[in-house]
Amino acid sequence: MIIVMKQNSTKEELKEVVRRIGELGYHPHIIHGETRNVIGAVGDERGKSVLQSLDSLPGVESVVPILKPYKLASREVSPLPSIIDVGRGVQIGGDKVVVMAGPCAVESCEQILATARAVKEAGATVLRGGAFKPRTSPYSFQGLEEEGLKMLAEAREETGLPIVTEVVNPKDAEMVGCYADILQVGARNVQNFPLLKALGRLGKPVLLKRGMSTTIQEFLMSAEYILSEGNRQVILCERGVRTFETATRNTLDISAVPVLKEQTHLPVIIDPSHATGHARLVPAMCFAAIAAGADGLIVEVHPEPEKATSDGAQSLRPEAFSVMMTKLREFAKVTGRGL
């Protein structure tokens, strides 16, 4: 249910509504608007008729049922787009297209520092890099783990770029959160509900990737797990879905961007690297993502892709990334946004 407060309602009236929601066994989530406040009451839907009685409380304008199965992620709760502040002056979801760039995996201090310097010079505002790597094969490189996180932190210290890196195991969430500015949930973990709950309690920005066979509704229900634990800082990432096509690694569902924009207030970014699996296809998909209204891009860049421990074929060289960024900057202006 959504409890809509009157424009002139007081703080005391808001507090009383929140208290009553808690007494009824629901979890209140306050959304502060420009003209009025809204409270989402989340819990067992069987008792929603009890919540209707709240419309008699002072300061309450109306009590409205949320029709979507995902409550806090829906536009019904927050009709205006959410803007996620990831620190160091970077916000995702506003008028500026945010570009995250870096290698699939952190391999050495020299590699991540060289890449960080190059992507920053080209215009990227967030550094990506994997320290924990969930791989299909148990024999593939699994990442440098905490040592890799320390290298990412060193790169942030030198360049000022906030860092996004993947967390795989719920028990590592707090440790990864000590280093990362944004915690990434990979496609394989989109329905790892213990992990999503742990990140919801952690309270740091989360980049949630869509699973390779995940529907839009399932994707948003996964976001709901994080939101329901109190963390409002969720960024959605479309990275391609699995189809019958073999020409690309996955099939980039570019239509997911406008569909998600209709359904949710959460920002949406695109991962063209994992979607295509081929570096030569990445620039075209970046242009398409911006045209579709994506709030950002996450692109794999490696100084020597042929030597990469993972995903070298889809990684741009720094020179190619720089050329692409110059063109994207001009293209973004045409759409009325910056880069």
Per-residue pLDDT, 300: 98
Count the alpha carbons within 13 Å of 309 in the hemisphere toward its beta carbon: 20
- 53 and 116 fall within a common domain: no
Phi first, then psi, for residue 269 (nearest 5°) are: -120, 170
- 330 and 216 fall within a common domain: yes
- 60 and 95 fall within a common domain: no
In a domain, 75, yes or no: no
- 58 and 141 fall within a common domain: no
Q: Shortest CA distance to 37 belongs to which of 12, 73, 69?
A: 12
The residue range of the domain holding 275 is 84-334
Per-residue pLDDT of the chain (339 residues; tens, 9 = 90+): 889 999 999 999 999 999 999 998 888 888 887 778 889 888 876 666 788 889 899 999 999 888 888 989 999 888 889 999 999 999 999 999 999 999 999 999 999 999 999 999 999 999 999 998 766 676 566 678 899 999 999 999 999 999 999 999 999 999 999 999 999 999 999 999 999 999 999 989 999 999 999 999 999 999 999 999 999 999 999 999 999 999 999 999 999 999 999 999 999 999 999 999 999 999 999 999 999 999 999 999 999 999 999 899 999 999 999 999 999 999 999 999 999
In a domain, 16, yes or no: yes
CA 161 centroid distance within chain: 17
In a domain, 77, yes or no: no
> Domain holding 232: CATH number?
3.20.20.70
> Domain holding 6: CATH number?
3.30.70.1140
- 51 and 170 fall within a common domain: no
In a domain, 69, yes or no: no
- What pTM was computed for the model? 0.91
- 23 and 147 fall within a common domain: no
Contacting residues for 198 by C-beta, under 8 A, at least 6 apart: 170, 173, 174
- 94 and 197 fall within a common domain: yes
SS3 218: helix
- 52 and 156 fall within a common domain: no
In a domain, 70, yes or no: no
Tally of domains in the chain: 2
Q: How far apart are CA 10 and CA 338, in angstroms?
A: 39
- 37 and 155 fall within a common domain: no
Per-residue pLDDT, 212: 95
In a domain, 47, yes or no: yes
- 94 and 60 fall within a common domain: no
In a domain, 79, yes or no: no
In a domain, 78, yes or no: no
- 99 and 234 fall within a common domain: yes
Per-residue pLDDT, 32: 82
Beta strands in 139-185 (DSSP E): 163-166, 182-185
- 91 and 28 fall within a common domain: no
